[in-house]
Amino acid sequence: MDSVELYRQLLGLTAIWTVEQVELDMAKKHVEVHVGHPGGQRFACPECGRELGYL
């Protein structure tokens, strides 16, 4: 498993999300994970599953 896949699983990201960048600062014990999604993608409401508008 590469680090991108590792962060995807740690964050519980669904397939739509891609990890674009990971910044790891060991000195500050700080991790920044930048995620993105393809343009024109519809998202379902996490509570009722209804599709929401384009983002």
| Interface residue list for Zn ion (CB under 5 A) | 45, 47-48, 50
Q: Which residue, 2 or 51, has its beta carbon nearer to Zn ion?
A: 51
What is the four-CA torsion angle of 26, 27, 28, 30, rounded to 10 degrees? -10
**Helix/strand/coil for 16:** coil
Q: How far is the CB of 8 from Zn ion (least distance, A)?
A: 24
Q: How far is the CB of 9 from Zn ion (least distance, A)?
A: 26
**Which residue minimizes CB distance to Zn ion?**
45
Q: Which residue has the tokens 């409401």?
A: 45
